[in-house]
Structure 1
């Protein structure tokens, strides 16, 4: 039995990941900003460096940590306020950095860190400037941290999902027209499910895959790399 911590465990991907790990018999602890959606083991503002550091200290020895924190703000750069930009960076990139920082301090015997980027960081999507900047930063963070901590056996990887059905993306998936457009952008013709992303995270956490580090795994129905044939 391994021990894992999921930051932002109340997110759709976080909950799906926790369930899959528990189904495999592992011990899973979660964090959330409050107890409105789950009963977390730790109430945590994941952008607070000291708080994340203390949470890992309190959690004890870990085999892996996942940061599922993020936001979705779709707006052209010229329509984005400074406050919106700051919040987007804070929710995704700052929390990811805080996670890596704490893992580097406390997971000195090795293990796995998994971050969540986005297909939007690897392909140009209109009105995604702020979120693409934040998620692209996570890719750079993943690569650099993987190099820094490889000597201690600490692996750092990320997944880059396409559009995943969740409360966060409801504005895009609840509208029939918007949903059809989004589905058509994915070569496999459907929106992702939280379980799709969770399976990739569990794979990267697995100690059996301990020769994988510095990788960004697209879990995106082809959105990040494939252009489907247009239906006439």
Structure 2
């Protein structure tokens, strides 16, 4: 007889998801709520946070009292300090973090302005670093935990139209390795995920023409674009005790794209 009861794998655990109002962050928050977690999601816009909360609680009415939304811009360390204070006041500790907030800027090097460069670095690298830094005391207070950083498949190959974006994500990959090694003694695991072409709002904003989706889809060996849930399932695994012996690693979630590109290049 199959047990269809929802998992309580994350019962009594508190997980922070930055950039949780859409896409991979929202999908991860959904899975965590279903698994019994106390979930904190952040975003830069109050209206988007309200819509995300409404959607999540409509899908899982029993999880509404376990969801906390906090407006915070990860590029602003003062916002992250306030976020940490809010989590401390509400929950006391953190058991896990998905540092997911990011921006996608796809421009050739000649077109990148200083403003675009600074904003991309501020959100994608500086924001990730200070998210983890401010979360550390809360993770240590819980006796350790798991951190997952959202990187990208782009550093795994050359991408002419995204030099700054790919560089920030390469920095995130390095950060996961170094933090994973440095924090292991404190019981904190740090890993990263590197999504490929995932059909999120950000993807559709970057590639708005549906006709352009077909050659992208055709380049993926599994023959489809990824879903936000494809990434969320892996993130939840890395946040869970099922991955308790995994740290300083990167998992590429791309339908086989990177190996295929490498094979062609070879």
Instruction: Please tell me whether the aligned partners of residues 157 and 258 of structure 2 are also in contact (alpha carbons under 8 angstroms).
Output: yes
Cα deviation, residue 172, structure 1: 4.8
Q: Which residue among 125, 134, 141 is the counterpart of 2:168?
A: 134
Residue number in structure 2 paired with 1:88: 120
- 1:10-21 equivalence runs, <5 A: 10-21=21-32
- How many residue pairs get aligned? The number is 230
Q: Residues of 1 paired with 2:263 and 2:118: CA distance?
A: 38
TM-score by length of 1: 0.93
Residues 19-73 of structure 1 show CA distances to partners (whole Å, capped at 9, x for unaligned) of 0111112111111112222236211111222331332232121110111111111
Alignment of 1:188-199 (within 5 A): 188-199=222-233
Q: CA RMSD in A?
A: 1.8
Query: Aligned residue for 1:121?
Result: 155
The equivalent position to 1:45 in structure 2, one of 50, 62, 73, is 73
By how many angstroms is 1:90 displaced? Answer: 1.4
Unaligned runs of at least 5 residues, structure 1: none
**Is the CA contact 1:13–1:198 (under 8 Å) kept in the aligned structure 2?**
yes
Partner of 2:82: 54
Paired residue for 1:209, among 243, 247, 257?
243
Q: Distance in 1 between matches of 2:78 and 2:262?
A: 45
Deviation track 1:85-120 (CA, whole Å, cap 9, x = no partner) reads 111111211111011212333311210111100000
Higher helix proportion, which one?
2
Structure 2 partner of 1:78: 110
- TM-aligned CA deviation for residue 173 of structure 1: 4.8
Query: Which of 218, 221, 232 is matched with 1:184 structurally?
Result: 218
Larger radius of gyration: 2
- What is the distance in 1 between the residues matched to 2:33 and 2:205? 30
Task: List alignment gaps of at least 5 residues for structure 2.
Answer: 1-10, 51-67
Q: Which deviations, in whole Å up to 9, do the C-alpha atoms of 1:170-208 show, x marking residues without a partner?
A: 145542331012112222111111111101100100023
The 3-state SS of whatever aligns with 1:30 is strand
Task: Check the 8 A contact 2:49/2:71 in 1, yes or no.
Answer: no
Structure 1 segments (4+ residues) deviating >3 Å: 171-174, 227-230
